[in-house]
Amino acid sequence: MNPIKISNPSIVTANHLTDMLSRQNSQQSLSSPSSEDSSDDISKDIVSDSDERFYEGTEKLLEIWFGRSDNCTDNCDLRKIQRPAWDALLKFAQCEIISFRRTESIDGYVLSESAMFISKDRFIIKTCGQTTLLRCIEPLLYLVREIAGFDEILDVFYSRKSFMRPDLQDKTHSRFDNEIETLDSVFEVGSAYCLGRVNRDCWYLYTLHPEKGVTVPDQTLELIMVDLDEEVMSIFTRATSETARDATIKSGIDKIFPGMVIDDYLFTPCGYSMNGYIKSGHYVTIHITPEVDFSYVSFETNAPQASYLELIQKIIRMFVPGKFIMTIFANEASVAFNNSYEYKSSSFNDYRREELQFCRFKNYELTFGTFAREPS
């Protein structure tokens, strides 16, 4: 499959973005956003249902890689898209920026619902709650073509765990079939998968199978944790921690990677988000919904490692989940590629392996596992 051309946007999309682009142009002569840009205190929206407070921690994750048909990408860069345009784009997904941090290789944003990372040719957004993530794809492609200068999509990854309360999601996201329909309307030649037990916790994936694809080393580890230790979760509440920094230190998050630059945020009355920037130029992101009845933690990093076993063990010791899903993506250029044999024979202390599946795509391999804590 050849790379997908970024087509002309629909009239509706273009009209919606007219104001966005005018604000974008007015910012070109201004300096870049401050390296630390936090809004006033933000409270997570809680959906009231049968007198019970509920928040959907489960995240929708979208990653898109871009290129040019003529391979001339020297003047192309997603980071040319300025803050007003991102602010407008995120309105399509129903979330907003609360903090910004720039490194040499990544512009990172803590969002009201999770995170967004922008590098030269890769866009990553992760949103929880009742966000409408897929609505931002067409506006994004418009900005990518008009401002960043790319005209091809090299690869796409959209994934999520099954929702705790799919009935509370927007229709587009209430069923994976609906998400597939939306994604197919944009990308046309994508493929959809479901891993794990369909009648239990499962994990959905939509991706492409391009001939060219991403040629630079690329890998991603994601851990999706539920039914977490109540004492650990209490750290991520205003009742226990006064600031985000307090929660970061008490939990040990600051020690995951030595020298990691941390941009963290503690919500009111509870909830926590963190973006971390490693010296190697890679990212870490953690998002926590600590309420006992629907506790949820996600951990994600693209730090390259031949084996993630030690890191996974460190994270599950930190948060003590009742259950967790592990996904590891790696392309052929990555040091993490072709290491699935490690996970066939390995286990994690106090956890039994329930599922272990391996997939080989055109340019990537995927290791998927589900684990549950052994009864004490």
- List residues with catalytic annotation: 56, 59, 114, 128, 273, 287
Output the CA angle 145-140-168, nearest 5 degrees. Answer: 165
Residues with Cβ within 8 Å of residue 345, at least 6 apart in sequence: none
Instruction: Tell me the sheet residues that pair with 123.
Output: 64, 118
In 3D space, the residue among 312, 339, 340 whose CA is nearest the CA of residue 324 turns out to be 312
Question: CA torsion sign, 193 to 120 to 328 to 274?
Answer: negative
Peptide bond into 269 cis (omega under 30): yes
Measured distance CA(89)–CA(323) in Å, rounded: 34
Q: Residue 71 and residue 123: Cα distance in Å, rounded?
A: 18
What distances in angstroms separate CA 177 from CA 187, 253, 369, one per listed residue? 15, 36, 23
Question: If you ran DSSP here, which 8-state letter would residue 270 be given?
Answer: B
Sign of CA dihedral 164, 166, 172, 175: positive
